Amino acid sequence: MGRDTRSSPVNWRSGWEASRKPPPYLHKSMRMDMRATGIFCGVLLLTALSQAQPVMETGFSVSQSATAANLDGDPQLEVVVSSQDGHLYVFNHDGTVMAGWPQYMGPALWPDPYANICSSPAVHDLNGDGILEIIVGNFDGWMYVFEPDGSDFPGWPFQSGFMIFSTPALGDIDGDGYMEIVWGDNSGGIYAANHDGTVCPGFPYPTPYVVRSSPAVGDLDGDGGDEIVITADNSQYHLYALEGNGTNMPGFPQLFANAIGSNSSPTLADVDADGDLEIVVGDRSGYLHVMHHTGVYLPGWPLDAGYSLQSCPTVVNLDLDPSLEIIVGMNDSQVRIYKLDGSQMAGWPQITAYTVISSASVGCIDGDDEYEIVVGCNTGDVYGWNLDGTPAAGFPLTQPTYTVYSSPLLADLDLDNHLEMVLGCNDTWVYCWDMGAGTYRPDQLPWPEFRRDARNTSTVPWPPGPALATVSLVPVGAPLVIPAGGGSFDYNCTLVNLSDSTCACDAWVMVRLPNGTWFGPALGPLSLILPGGGAVTRLRTQAVPATAPVGQYWYEARVGDYPGVVWDTSGFGFTKAGAGDGRLEAGENWACTGDPFPGELGGRSVASIPETFALSVSPNPFNPSTAVGYRLPAPGLASLRVYDTAGREVATLVDGWRDSGVHEVTFDGSGLASGIYVVRLEAAGRAQARRIVLLK
């Protein structure tokens, strides 16, 4: 249960007063009036974020959800949110409007202050130039991509067939290393476009229905590429799962019998911990659907929840058992948490004052070691609960005065180690609450915003799998401040095998930069074999160059199967003072030295080993056999073995002398059960491991 470690919530807000709506001629820019405020609903505005107390004003309801990113290169984050006045807004962390914003997205020929924007924005660096872009669709069927200064990104906007209610999602559906933009529209089209505005081959995919839902994008079948999952409805309710080339995945589309379409959009997550992703989505008839990527329902599903379901499912491991929990808001005013067997978690459901269309966010918001669930309500109240269903300290919040459809955003906007919660409301205001000192813990935010992340993927990465090992980082001499001329810091890193059997795993360190992007690995990836019940601790020193940009960093160790499967993370923050030139250089400038881990050579990580030492597996997943390729830089003794997740050896593929060069062997899993296995190559004191999935 949470404890009250917060000061009283404080907020800033945005919105037009009813008597001061924007004139209809405003286009591409708006004048923002600033004024001091005093008390609103008994809550002092903005005192935790800035000594100034400005009021930001949009033109109409803020029904869509906000996201946050570093768009202007300063250390703090900006808030991006759309309003139903037809404008997209970008607020600085203190509530002031960022230069170049807002941008008008209504009809070009007849500017309309009430031209709806019905999708929430996505933010990502689309073309890999280090600059983030903002992506959002409008009611007239245009998908926009903006630069941080408010100018149009080359090749955009793009006009699709009709109204866009769908929130865009970003994923690499064609394997080219760049994110594609995916959305649906009311003409029934499912669209996918490259970052330059060209249409991806096989798209748009035509459906005979209306596509109001937002896509989930993720590696649904474990083939290494992203797939698209989205619903379409009219008189019938269909679920589509598309490959990156626009073809249907086997078993799709699915017709939901006796179901009515919904604002609920699908989520992808390994709900049953079987090593692959499931699809979770609700409908307005009151059914909650959970099915395998093959289109087959999990046992006991769909579940009749008894009332209309319009929120998007939030899927998180709340009770730390192997399976995940599903959080949904209902039209009967309830918030429910379902377990894998269809039962509700102890202490749930919880009752709000009215309909819940807002989708829940989950994080540790009060500084304790447990998650809380936060969600808005159609009365304007904001609810927060501990895992046992008791109210979180300070909740419910009653500052909003009208309907809340949007989902809470949880982020540290001003990098003060305070968690902030941002929420738009149909009273035209955008609210921000400071949750208090020490409440920002990025490793404790499993679902911090609408659709889970700034790319709106609504996907828990495939496959989470059972945690076989944990990692812990403890800084020496915190708080850590690196001077302008560069420097270093020390920390202790501990890896622990949770089982009694040998565990094969990877360990690596990533650095989150002040602009919110990740750099690294700064250490590793290290391919390790941990003895049963064993632990290893090393004292390390991380160098930070003078060229590193100024601001707040997050230093995070990860353990799992590099790069996509993470069992556990641990991290801490540090600050870089002074004005570096922003360059990020590898090698000695970011050297991580100290006591070597098993898997390091001479204090240098496995990442520095020549690329001629390599291990690959294809296809993966497989049934029943797969090709295991490996490359040796020099002749010598080689070992290639397969282990199960308990560390037991199940096959020996190579054990003897091999020449240098490329080799390939076949692994036949006909006699093994479906599940996750680890292939490990050892030669000349080096090692690499790959996780493989046998699907029968």
Domain positions in the chain are 53-460, 469-594, 614-694
Per-residue confidence (pLDDT) for residue 644, from 0 to 100:
80
Average pLDDT value over all residues in the chain: 81
Per-residue confidence (pLDDT) for residue 262, from 0 to 100:
66
pLDDT digits (tens, 9 = 90+) for 216-256: 999 888 777 899 999 998 878 899 999 999 999 999 999 98
pLDDT band at 190 (very low <50, low <70, confident <90, very high): very high
Record: fold of 614-694: Immunoglobulin-like (2.60.40)
Q: Any alpha helices (H) in 489-563, and if so which ranges?
A: none
C-alpha 141/C-alpha 114 separation (Å) is 15
pLDDT band at 27 (very low <50, low <70, confident <90, very high): very low
Per-residue confidence (pLDDT) for residue 18, from 0 to 100:
27
Assess whether pLDDT exceeds 80 at residue 687: no
Assess whether pLDDT exceeds 50 at residue 259: yes
Tokens standing for residue 374: 């936060």
Residue 164 or residue 42, greater confidence = 164
> Residue 658's beta-bridge partner residues?
636
C-alpha 638/C-alpha 644 separation (Å) is 20
DSSP states along 33-76: ------EETTEEBSTTT-SS---B--SS---SPPEEE--SSSSS
Amino acid, single-letter form, for residue 266? P
476: enclosing H helix or E strand: none
Pairing of strands 361-363, 216-218: unpaired
Instruction: Report CA-CA distances (Å) from 457 to 271, 461, 635.
Output: 16, 10, 45
DSSP states along 183-231: EE-TTSEEEEE-TTSPBPTT-SEE-SSB--SPPEEE-SSSSSS-EEEEE
Assess whether pLDDT exceeds 50 at residue 690: yes
Domain 469-594 identical in fold to domain 614-694: yes
Tokens standing for residue 188: 């029934």
**Cβ-count burial of 429 within 10 angstroms (0-12 exposed, 13-18 middle, 19+ buried)?**
buried
Per-residue confidence (pLDDT) for residue 689, from 0 to 100:
72
Per-residue confidence (pLDDT) for residue 563, from 0 to 100:
65
Per-residue confidence (pLDDT) for residue 514, from 0 to 100:
83
**Among 35-39, 70-74, 129-133, 531-535, whose mean pLDDT is lowest?**
35-39
Comparing C-alpha atoms, which of 238, 275, 271, 234 is closest to residue 253? Answer: 238
Pairing of strands 67-69, 518-530: unpaired
Counting other chains too, the contacts that 24-31 makes at CB distance below 8 Å and 24 or more residues apart are 24/111, 24/112, 24/113, 25/111, 26/104, 26/111, 26/113, 27/104, 27/111, 28/103, 28/104, 28/150, 29/102, 29/103, 29/104, 30/59, 30/87, 30/102, 30/104
Q: Is residue 607 classed as helix, strand or coil in its secondary structure?
A: helix
pLDDT band at 616 (very low <50, low <70, confident <90, very high): confident
Assess whether pLDDT exceeds 60 at residue 50: no
Do 111 and 102 form a contact (C-beta atoms < 8 A)?
no
Q: Is residue 445 classed as helix, strand or coil in its secondary structure?
A: coil
Assess whether pLDDT exceeds 70 at residue 611: no
C-alpha 407/C-alpha 453 separation (Å) is 12
If you search the block for the tokens 């919040």, which residue do you land on? 397
**Cβ-count burial of 172 within 10 angstroms (0-12 exposed, 13-18 middle, 19+ buried)?**
middle
Instruction: Count the neighbouring beta carbons within 10 Å of the beta carbon of residue 103.
Output: 23
pLDDT band at 111 (very low <50, low <70, confident <90, very high): low
Q: What is the dotted CATH code of the domain comprising 53-460?
A: 2.130.10.10
Assess whether pLDDT exceeds 70 at residue 610: no
Q: Is the dihedral of CA 168, 170, 173, 174 positive or negative?
A: positive
If you search the block for the tokens 């080689």, which residue do you land on? 638
Do 315 and 327 form a contact (C-beta atoms < 8 A)?
yes
Residue 11 or residue 64, greater confidence = 64
Per-residue confidence (pLDDT) for residue 120, from 0 to 100:
96
Q: What is the dotted CATH code of the domain comprising 469-594?
A: 2.60.40.3880
Comparing C-alpha atoms, which of 541, 543, 539, 555 is closest to residue 494? Answer: 539
Per-residue confidence (pLDDT) for residue 22, from 0 to 100:
29
Comparing C-alpha atoms, which of 207, 194, 200 is closest to residue 261? Answer: 207
Assess whether pLDDT exceeds 80 at residue 385: yes
Q: Is residue 19 classed as helix, strand or coil in its secondary structure?
A: helix
Tokens standing for residue 246: 């626009």
**pTM given for the model:** 0.69
pLDDT band at 35 (very low <50, low <70, confident <90, very high): very low
Per-residue confidence (pLDDT) for residue 312, from 0 to 100:
96
Assess whether pLDDT exceeds 60 at residue 33: no
Do 113 and 552 form a contact (C-beta atoms < 8 A)?
no
C-alpha 645/C-alpha 642 separation (Å) is 10
pLDDT band at 560 (very low <50, low <70, confident <90, very high): confident
pLDDT digits (tens, 9 = 90+) for 418-459: 899 999 988 888 888 889 887 888 878 999 999 999 999 999
Instruction: Count the neighbouring beta carbons within 10 Å of the beta carbon of residue 361.
Output: 29
Residue 286 region by backbone torsions, left for phi larger than 0, else alpha for psi between -120 and 50, else beta: left
Assess whether pLDDT exceeds 80 at residue 53: no
Assess whether pLDDT exceeds 80 at residue 390: yes
